[in-house]
């Protein structure tokens, strides 16, 4: 497969940003984020010829310019640790041609090549002082005339929910559906959770920037848990005391088998195991965060795991996960909001496993992109037939899992060290429920 970049340009906001909006204040949780891009690729099934593609691309660029006027911080650049300079420098927009058909590319998905559909390398940890565009877009035209849109979103401002709000507005403008636009709320996050100098915070693993030093050569694999597999797991793991959700069932199942794969040949059996579940605070906080609030309104639920082995009962992991997630209440987040000293408190240190952070724990990071609406993103070509994350083999943070909802069930995009993913791929107990990179249906 060959991908040729046909054009690269900068799309600036349609209207200049007003003086009163020239500086966007980041929120407390933005400050904790790595200076990295998280990826998303949307594949569309409707075919087009070259002239139609050029017309579509022109419309995408025009509507992107108008969307950047509404989402003005995305057209800016980071000013300092606590703010974005909304200077209208714009977003990067690229066009590319792929010399094979989408059907050939997706049967099964060529994960080793999929990053070529993105406008930059995803999930690479950049120094915080490096000034980067907030958004990059690459529109790919396959030989068959189908289109895939690859996005790289800078995590300093956007989380997955924020990205979905932006995409919904951009695509609604593109197809002329003003009633579908979602206006952003840029102020609630920084107003309720203003940035602070976090030097000396007793946060243990709260300062995730420390993980930038533990990058390893990793490979990303995609596993599908179809509806039958999820239902079978729920039946197995449901009891009088436990009625787990789909997320809890799948993540706990993955957690066990990842740990077994990572420790199979390890001589160090004393290293602590920690599951970090990234929790969206919006639903737990309620208004005003439940409507269009932009920013990384995320909190890590850190769960210390016991001695996980091949014969460990996954129901025990589900129970521990339920208990851990149950601690993240509105009352807790109100403490973070109202008490400037909370991040230095014993309670916060306990939540962030302060004592464990110094013992070189192995951390598994889980993120869910369920119920974000990505599967409904229609810019005038119908809903996407498939969503993708990233692939390839490169230096990045190991043991990260992104769960994405599909028509078939839940896809787990798992990034692990090469030697560990090789063990997992041969784990028949795991493969009984997880399908390794199946072909995309209904192309």
- pLDDT tens digits for the chain (443 residues)? 899 999 999 999 999 999 999 999 999 999 888 899 999 999 999 999 999 999 999 999 999 999 999 999 999 999 998 999 999 999 999 999 999 999 999 999 999 999 999 999 998 888 888 999 999 999 999 999 999 999 999 999 999 999 999 999 999 999 999 888 888 999 999 999 998 766 655 555 555 444 445 678 899 999 999 999 999 999 999 888 888 999 999 999 999 999 999 988 775 667 889 999 999 999 899 888 878 999 999 999 999 998 888 889 999 999 999 999 999 999 999 999 999 888 888 888 888 888 887 788 889 999 999 989 999 999 999 999 999 999 988 888 899 999 999 889 999 999 999 999 999 999 999 999 999 999 998 77
Cβ partners under 8 Å of residue 232, min gap 6 = 433
- Residue 99 is classified by DSSP as S
Q: Is 107 in contact with 439 (CB distance < 8 Å)?
A: yes
Cis ω before 191 (30° cut-off from 0): no
Buried b (16+ CB within 10 A) or exposed e, 392-417: bebebbbbbbbbbbbebbbbbbbbbb
Q: Is 218 in contact with 396 (CB distance < 8 Å)?
A: yes
CA 48 to chain centre: 30
Cβ partners under 8 Å of residue 86, min gap 6 = 17, 21, 22, 23, 24, 72, 73, 75, 76
How far, in Å, are 123, 248, 374, 399 from residue 42 at the CA level? 18, 26, 8, 24
- Residue 130 is classified by DSSP as S
3-state secondary structure of 362: strand
Q: Which H helix or E strand runs over 192?
A: helix 188-192
Q: Is 316 in contact with 309 (CB distance < 8 Å)?
A: no
Query: d(Cα 215, Cα 42) in Å, to the nearest integer?
Result: 27
3-state secondary structure of 364: strand
Q: Taking the CB of residue 210, how many other CB atoms lie within 10 A of it?
A: 11
Q: Kindly state the tokens that stand for 16.
A: 């200049």
Query: d(Cα 169, Cα 71) in Å, to the nearest integer?
Result: 9
Cβ partners under 8 Å of residue 114, min gap 6 = 41, 388, 390, 391, 392
Query: d(Cα 99, Cα 141) in Å, to the nearest integer?
Result: 9
- Residue 113 is classified by DSSP as T
Cβ partners under 8 Å of residue 122, min gap 6 = 36, 37, 38, 39, 115, 152, 390
Note the pLDDT of residue 211. 46
Note the pLDDT of residue 92. 98
Domains and CATH numbers, the chain: 3-192 (3.30.559.10), 204-436 (3.30.559.10)
Q: Is 168 in contact with 179 (CB distance < 8 Å)?
A: no
Note the pLDDT of residue 197. 67
CA angle 317, 320, 321 (to 5 degrees): 85
3-state secondary structure of 189: helix
Cβ partners under 8 Å of residue 46, min gap 6 = 146, 147, 381, 382
Q: Is 97 in contact with 139 (CB distance < 8 Å)?
A: no
């Amino acid at each position: 497969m060959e991908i040729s970049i046909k054009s690269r340009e900068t799309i600036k906001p349609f209207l200049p940003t007003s003086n009163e909006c020239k500086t966007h204040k980041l929120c407390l949780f933005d400050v904790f984020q790595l200076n990295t891009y998280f990826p998303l690729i949307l594949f569309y099934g409707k075919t087009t010829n070259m002239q139609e593609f050029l017309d579509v691309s022109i419309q995408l660029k025009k509507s992107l310019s108008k969307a950047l006027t509404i989402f003005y911080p995305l057209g800016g650049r980071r000013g300092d640790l606590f703010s974005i300079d909304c200077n209208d420098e714009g977003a990067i927009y690229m066009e590319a041609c792929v010399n094979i058909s989408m059907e050939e590319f997706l049967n099964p998905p060529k994960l080793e090549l999929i990053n070529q559909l993105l406008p930059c390398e995803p999930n690479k940890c950049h120094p915080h002082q490096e000034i980067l565009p907030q958004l990059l877009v690459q529109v790919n035209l396959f030989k068959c005339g189908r289109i895939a849109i690859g996005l790289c979103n800078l995590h300093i401002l956007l989380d997955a929910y924020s990205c979905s709000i932006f995409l919904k507005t951009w695509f609604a403008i593109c197809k002329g559906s003003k009633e579908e636009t979602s206006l952003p709320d840029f102020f609630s996050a920084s107003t309720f959770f203003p940035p602070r100098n976090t030097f000396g915070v007793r946060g243990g693993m709260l300062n995730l920037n420390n993980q930038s030093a533990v990058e390893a050569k990793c490979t990303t694999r995609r596993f599908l848990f179809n509806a039958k597999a999820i239902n079978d797991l729920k039946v197995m793991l449901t009891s009088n005391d436990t009625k787990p959700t789909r997320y809890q069932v799948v993540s706990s199942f993955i957690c066990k088998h990842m740990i077994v794969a990572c420790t199979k040949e390890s001589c160090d059996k004393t290293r602590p195991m920690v599951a970090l579940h990234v929790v969206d605070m919006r639903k737990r906080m309620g208004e005003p965060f439940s409507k269009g609030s932009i920013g990384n309104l995320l909190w890590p639920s850190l769960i210390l795991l016991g001695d996980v082995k091949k014969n460990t009962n996954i129901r025990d992991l589900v129970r521990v996960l339920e208990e851990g997630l149950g601690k993240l209440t509105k009352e807790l987040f109100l403490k973070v909001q109202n008490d400037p000293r909370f991040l230095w408190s014993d309670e916060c240190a306990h939540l962030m496993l302060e004592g464990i952070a110094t013992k070189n724990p192995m951390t598994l990071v889980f993120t869910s992109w369920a119920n974000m609406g990505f599967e409904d993103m229609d810019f005038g070509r119908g809903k996407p037939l498939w969503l993708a994350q990233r692939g390839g083999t490169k230096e990045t943070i190991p043991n990260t899992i992104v769960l994405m909802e599909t028509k078939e069930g839940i896809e787990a995009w798992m990034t692990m060290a090469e030697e560990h993913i090789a063990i997992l791929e041969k784990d028949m107990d795991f493969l009984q429920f997880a399908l390794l990179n199946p072909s995309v249906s209904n192309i």
